[in-house]
């Protein structure tokens, strides 16, 4: 999902939610007789959504903003379900919208997680049906409740799948110009390249292939900045990012500036053996190269940590990035100018 376009979508969806809840609260008593309690809950929900909307409109984008509307909906929906007959409540029909909405606001993996959580809520509502207030449990059979629950769980599964397809469509149709770029190097920003980890991991698992994540750190940049100048350091970072970019396969690999002096390279279809070869070659090429910056010959070295995950097994993006960071940490601790793979780094960290 696009970093820059997500915030307006979050704000407008919370605004829409606020309007929807306010209208239902106002109009529903005109159409059906209902307890005062529902109007009260509706008013509370409208105020909550309104406050969230005002907050989102006024504040700068934050990484957790995408999750805010989802917490809001959970805070609105769960009390309504608890007092309005649980699984037989018509409010439950809103539940299958959540996974696809999560995929749009966050990512498809979180959408799948929300679908699982919602399925647990459905099962809990079936279990607690006899004690829920206003429950239609006494008017319907247990088998009806189970069938209704099954239908909802299927709808949640379908919604999660639509979320996955939507995310894939957006990522595939996004042109390079739309991607958020780091101003110094022109590479993808940290957020944009981390977004790609989940997408590429999902693709490699579907295709039964490997995915390698490689973190490349520039050694002793502080020393170089102090000896020459920060501007020279900037130029060196630019030259290194171009050297890395030249090694990526267009339309396949992804490269971004992960931290100020670290680059994240994502290599789909590359296993441990190939990853080690690529990293070794990169390390030695950079160490042997002399970069001309303002007519000053500069030399530097790189430390590289990588982690290659096979298609088998359940992996998530956080796990892949964590293992890669550990591998890089091991390479730095061993003195820099070297390559460490995740398995090696685990051995180093255990020792
Ligand atoms: N020129 C330049 N320097 C940067 C940039 N971002 C961070 N730095 C510098 O990178 C240095 C990082 O310092 P350290 O964390 O000690 O890392 P290091 O000097 O590379 O040492 P090791 O990581 O141990 O090899 C600091 O001096 C920062 O000022 C940047 O965008 N441009």
How far is residue 219's CA from residue 224's CA, in Å, rounded to a whole number?
A: 9
SS3 340: strand
What are the DSSP calls for 31-60, one per residue?
Answer: HS---HHHHHHHHHHHHHHHHHHHHHHHSP
Judge if the beta carbon of residue 216 lies within 6 A of ligand 1. no
Taking the CA of residue 326 as centre, how many other CA atoms within 13 Å lie in the half-sphere pointing to its CB? 18
Give the predicted TM-score (pTM) of the model. Answer: 0.61
* pLDDT the model gives residue 174: 65
Has residue 344 got a pLDDT over 80? no
Among the residue ranges 64-78, 192-206, 221-235, 241-255, the one predicted with the least confidence is: 192-206
**Whether the Cβ atoms of residue 111 and residue 164 lie closer than 8 Å to each other:** yes
Residue to mutate, 225, 302, 303, 332, ligand 1, most ligand atoms under 8 Å from C-beta: 225
How far is residue 96's CA from residue 229's CA, in Å, rounded to a whole number?
A: 56
Q: Indicate which residue's Cα is closest to atom 11 of ligand 1.
A: 222
Q: Indicate which residue's Cα is closest to atom 15 of ligand 1.
A: 222
Cβ neighbourhood burial of 203 (10 Å; 0-12, 13-18, 19+): middle
**Whether the Cβ atoms of residue 305 and residue 321 lie closer than 8 Å to each other:** no
The mean pLDDT value for 233-239 works out to 94
Domains of the chain: 3-173 (no CATH), 184-350 (3.30.70.270)
Q: Which two tokens stand for residue 224?
A: 């170089």
Has residue 321 got a pLDDT over 50? yes
**Computed from CA positions of residues 229, 233, 236, 238, in that sequence, does the dihedral angle turn out positive or negative?**
negative
Q: Indicate which residue's Cα is closest to atom 18 of ligand 1.
A: 220
Has residue 121 got a pLDDT over 80? yes
**Whether the Cβ atoms of residue 77 and residue 114 lie closer than 8 Å to each other:** no
Q: 18-71, pLDDT tens digit by residue? A: 999 999 888 887 877 767 888 888 999 999 999 999 998 888 767 678 888 888
Q: Looking at residue 189, what DSSP letter applies? A: P
What is the position in ligand 1's atom list of the atom closest to the CA of 303? 25
Judge if the beta carbon of residue 219 lies within 6 A of ligand 1. yes
Interval between CA 95 and ligand 1 midpoint (Å): 48
Interval between CA 278 and ligand 1 midpoint (Å): 24
Return the bridge partners of 257, or none.
263
Q: Which two tokens stand for residue 70?
A: 């989802």
Q: Which residue has the higher pLDDT, 82 or 243?
A: 243
Cβ neighbours of 297 (radius 10 Å)? 8
With vertex at residue 273, the alpha carbon angle to CA 272 and CA 278, rounded to the nearest 5 degrees, is 95
Q: Indicate which residue's Cα is closest to atom 13 of ligand 1.
A: 222
Judge if the beta carbon of residue 225 lies within 6 A of ligand 1. yes
Judge if the beta carbon of residue 301 lies within 6 A of ligand 1. no
The mean pLDDT value for 168-185 works out to 77
What is the position in ligand 1's atom list of the atom closest to the CA of 219? 25
Q: Looking at residue 181, what DSSP letter applies? A: B
Helical spans, DSSP H, in 88-141: 97-105, 108-127
Has residue 347 got a pLDDT over 60? no
How far is residue 40's CA from residue 42's CA, in Å, rounded to a whole number?
A: 5
What are the DSSP calls for 57-87, one per residue?
Answer: HHSPP-GGGGGHHHHHHHHHHHHHHHHTTGG
Interval between CA 222 and ligand 1 midpoint (Å): 4
Q: Looking at residue 249, what DSSP letter applies? A: P
């Amino acid at each position: 999902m696009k970093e820059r376009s997500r915030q307006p979508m979050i704000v407008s969806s919370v605004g829409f939610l606020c309007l929807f809840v306010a209208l239902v609260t106002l109009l529903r008593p005109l159409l059906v007789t209902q307890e005062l309690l529902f109007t009260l809950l509706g008013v509370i929900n409208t105020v909550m959504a309104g406050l969230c909307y005002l907050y989102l409109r006024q504040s700068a984008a934050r990484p957790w903003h995408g999750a805010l509307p989802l917490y809001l909906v959970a805070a609105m929906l769960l009390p309504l379900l608890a007092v309005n007959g649980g699984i037989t409540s018509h409010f439950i029909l809103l539940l299958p919208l959540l996974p696809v909405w999560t995929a749009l606001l966050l990512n498809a993996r979180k959408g799948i997680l929300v679908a699982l959580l919602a399925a647990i809520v459905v099962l809990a509502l079936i279990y607690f049906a006899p004690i829920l207030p206003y429950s239609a449990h006494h008017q319907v059979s247990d088998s009806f409740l189970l069938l209704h629950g099954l239908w909802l769980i299927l709808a949640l599964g379908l919604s999660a799948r639509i979320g996955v397809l939507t995310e894939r469509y957006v990522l595939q149709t996004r042109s390079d110009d739309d991607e958020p770029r780091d101003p110094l190097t022109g590479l993808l920003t940290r957020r944009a390249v981390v977004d790609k980890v989940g997408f590429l991991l999902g693709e490699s698992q579907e295709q039964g292939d490997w995915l390698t994540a490689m973190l490349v750190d520039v050694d002793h940049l502080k020393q170089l900045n102090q000896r020459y100048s920060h501007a020279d350091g900037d130029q060196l970072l630019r030259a290194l990012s171009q050297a890395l970019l030249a090694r990526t396969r267009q339309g396949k690999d992804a490269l971004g500036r992960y931290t100020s002096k670290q680059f994240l390279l994502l290599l789909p279809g590359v296993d441990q053996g190939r990853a080690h070869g690529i990293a070794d070659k990169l390390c030695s090429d950079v160490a042997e190269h002399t970069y001309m910056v303002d007519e000053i010959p500069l030399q530097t070295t790189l430390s590289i940590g990588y982690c290659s995950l096979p298609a088998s097994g359940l992996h998530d993006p956080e796990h892949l990035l964590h293992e890669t960071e550990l591998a890089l940490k091991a390479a730095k601790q061993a003195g820099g100018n070297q390559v460490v793979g995740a398995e090696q780094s685990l051995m180093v960290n255990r020792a």
